[in-house]
A and B are shown apart, each in its own frame.
Chain A
């Protein structure tokens, strides 16, 4: 048994290193256009993993992750536009403000369950959207904030790619630690049975709120990263289409696995790119893809692969 675990983890470490090396040498092989696509994938992966903290692990279906994502993006953008504060601090401020906002929003939302939780998160996200959209004097409304000053060393796409790769690795490692900590296990217990978890002396609301805030923090990181990447921010970052995009990414990859949202975002961005080059009816195709997923591929891509693997192992043993 022990040797099995050892082998398992060593095998994982090797795969992890290989993947990291592949991502590290990508800029040398890929043309710039594709590199920015990969960058986009990675940022979406952080957002989706952040959402998955509450969605897959704590079982709280949020409809408004894009609100917090936009808070992160706009905080960084506004600081860079209006003040002379260096990029580093502005970048850290994004996630922190997003986390602060999620304390406020979460404080209301964790009182509710199921449909009502989902609708209340949606309502808050739409309020953020409305504020951003209508407050012309401060957020420039639907014109968005364009030409955000990013330090010169991050301006070339290759440099920014490495910058975001580092940040993303740190975030994913942190989230991996969170979900495997006692805290993460408690969240999973909460998902399976809130009443029983409460009986063994867990403060359910507090745990849910902490998960919500952590998730908000990582969504903020993704927002701030995307703000630096795109150098423009627009109100539609907070729109509920964006929230649904994140939900679809999680589902596509599989919500009960850690790596699922990462795989989901890679597949999603590729699909988006390929299909929009053929037809303008991308939503139609996306809708059909989601339908097919729901009916034929329960548990997402990664969940599907894991199940297949488990089954073949059973057959072999």
Chain B
């Protein structure tokens, strides 16, 4: 379910800014490392992980905002290839900076208190933290949906997605809103990273793995669609789980095959709109 958080951020940014942010996985990794770092620094205080969970995504969002203002803004009107290469360059830079700062070891945060034990549900034993993660997905989904549906910010985002020039002409500060949306996407990526650390540890290379999976999900669901990202994560999760059961070594290929099938039958994704 964590992957939904990251995929939905990618999809949101693409839907509004029309930029496919390849560095999205790197922001997720950054979130994971920052979460480790903050909770390790505060390890004396109680509830250090919760502080980290609060601050790490915010720092990632600020970093993303900086990225947008300094770099991305220059290339909205350029060729698509330039956007790919710019965000790809950011993957390399962020990846290496994380290596410089935190080394190449696997960094694990201990399970935070009230969630560090098992829970017994209908006679079966589950780790509490997994339940917490599973709940996070729908909570964020509903939150985002409400944000886009019912707030002023959401209306502006929808207007910009629909017609950028018109929104601009009607007095929306489009560049500022782009920064805001991009930061929101980064915050989601950072949140995903911070949530995953107690379970899977922070390590180099996690950015690429998640990025490829996110691509599959947003393409299946439809780029730029919230519910598509949600549906895509569910389908991808199921296919991946079955893949691991049947032929564990080729699990990721199943995801790609699924993506190819979807692209051929419905190139705009399951929940997307045809161009």
Contact = CB atoms under 8 A, between A and B. Distances in A.
A122 B88 CA distance: 14
B92 A284 contact: yes
Interface in B91-112: 91-93, 95-97, 99-100
B264 interface: yes
Nearest to B91: A287
Interface residues of B, number: 39
Contact of B100 (A61, A112, A115, A281): A281
Given A126-B256, A134-B249, A284-B93, A244 B263 contact: no
Interface in A142-171: none
A115 B223 contact: yes
B86 interface: yes
Contacts of B74: 295
Given A112-B263, A126-B256, A294-B75, A288 B89 contact: yes
A35 interface: no
Given A120-B263, A247-B85, A288 B93 contact: yes
Contacts of A131: 253
Interface in A289-316: 290-291, 294-295, 298
A23 B129 CA distance: 63
Contacts, number: 104
Nearest to B83: A294
Contact of B81 (A124, A251, A295): A251
Interface string B248-272: 0110110011011001100100000
Contacts of A93: none
A248 interface: yes
B90 interface: yes
Contact of B252 (A55, A126, A248, A286): A126
Contacts of A294: 75, 82, 85-86, 89
B80 A116 contact: no
Contacts of B86: 290-291, 294
B62 to A, nearest CB: 20
A34 interface: no
Nearest to A293: B85
Interface in B133-154: none
A127 B85 contact: no
A114 interface: yes
Contacts of A178: none
B54 interface: no
B253 A287 contact: no
A130 B270 CA distance: 26
Contacts of B71: 291, 295
A227 interface: no
A118 B84 contact: yes
B244 interface: no
B199 to A, nearest CB: 25
B123 to A, nearest CB: 38
B212 interface: yes
Contact of B88 (A55, A281, A290, A298): A290
Nearest to A55: B81
B96 A284 contact: yes
A108 interface: yes
Contacts of A291: 71, 86, 89-90, 93
A123 B256 CA distance: 6
B215 interface: yes
Interface string A97-140: 00000000000100110111011101110110011001000000
A287 B92 contact: yes
Interface string B189-204: 0000000000000000
B234 interface: no
A86 interface: no
Contacts of A266: none
Contact of A116 (B88, B95, B249, B267): B267
Interface string A193-208: 0000000000000000
Nearest to B253: A130
B20 interface: yes
Nearest to A115: B20
11 contacts: A61-B80, A61-B81, A118-B84, A119-B259, A130-B252, A130-B256, A244-B88, A284-B96, A290-B89, A291-B71, A291-B93
Interface of A: 55, 61, 63, 108, 111-112, 114-116, 118-120, 122-124, 126-127, 130-131, 134, 244, 247-248, 251, 255, 281, 283-284, 286-288, 290-291, 294-295, 298
State the 10 A-B residue pairs at the shortest beta-carbon distance, nearest first.
A287-B92, A284-B96, A287-B93, A290-B89, A283-B92, A287-B89, A123-B256, A130-B253, A134-B249, A291-B89
Interface of B: 14, 20, 71, 74-75, 78, 80-82, 84-86, 88-93, 95-97, 99-100, 212, 215-216, 219, 223, 249-250, 252-253, 256-257, 259-260, 263-264, 267
Given A115-B223, A123-B259, A130-B253, 10 more contacts: A123-B215, A126-B256, A284-B93, A284-B96, A290-B85, A290-B88, A290-B89, A291-B71, A294-B82, A294-B85
